[in-house]
Amino acid sequence: MSNIEQTLSIIKPDAVERDLQDQIKSEFLKKGFEIIKEKKIHISKEEAEKFYKVHETKPFYNDLCNYLSSGPIVVMALQKRNAVIDNRNLMGATNPKDADEGTLRKKYGISIDKNSVHGSDSIENAKIELDFFFKD
Ligand code: CMP
């Protein structure tokens, strides 16, 4: 029985701006993730709004969409056994100040907005988010 999964990872503008993408990618590889697909893009605010639609009623939605569209990002399809949960664990808590030692958000995150990485939160959302960026 195989539980090889794919999940979407985004290296956010704050991390790309600080040129951390290679360092963050090597953290994924060290943990056994394969980077199956990857592209560096700069999305529009409208695309960010579509991507984060699940958060549209939240008070932080507008800032979040402005932020994700503020500069280049790196989007990746990561693959491994239990990729969704393993990526969530590697990223750490949403707010870097609550994240455990050794997690990506603890190491690289600046604030709850500039938290360096996004990762799909379920297998179902991983499929939706991977399609969003990689369906051709
Ligand atoms: P991410 O995993 O990309 O999903 C939604 C993002 O909203 C989250 O990371 C945070 O960067 C951002 N955000 C801003 N404020 C909040 C908040 N109060 N709670 C959760 N996420 C927030």
Q: Tell which atom from ligand 1 comes closest to the C-alpha of 55.
A: 5
State pLDDT tens for residues 76-123: 999 999 999 999 999 999 999 999 999 999 999 999 999 999 999 999
Are 9 and 129 contacting, i.e. CB atoms less than 8 angstroms apart? no
Structural domain containing residue 83: 4-134
* Per-residue confidence (pLDDT) for residue 57, from 0 to 100: 98
Question: How many structural domains are present in the chain?
Answer: 1
* Rounded-to-integer distance, Cα 34 and Cα 125, Å: 19
Residue 136 pLDDT more than 80?
A: no
Q: Tell which atom from ligand 1 comes closest to the C-alpha of 63.
A: 14
* Catalytic status, residue 55: no
Residue 1 pLDDT more than 60?
A: no
Q: What CATH number does the domain containing 15 carry?
A: 3.30.70.141
Report residues whose beta carbon is within 6 angstroms of any ligand 1 atom: 55, 60, 64, 94, 112-113, 115, 118
- Whole-model pTM: value is 0.97
| Residue nearest to ligand 1 atom 1, measured at CA | 118
Residues whose CB falls within 8 Å of the CB of residue 55, separated by 6 or more in sequence, listed in order: 61, 64
Task: Assign 25 to helix, strand or coil.
Answer: helix
Say how many CA atoms lie within 13 Å of 51 toward its Cβ.
27
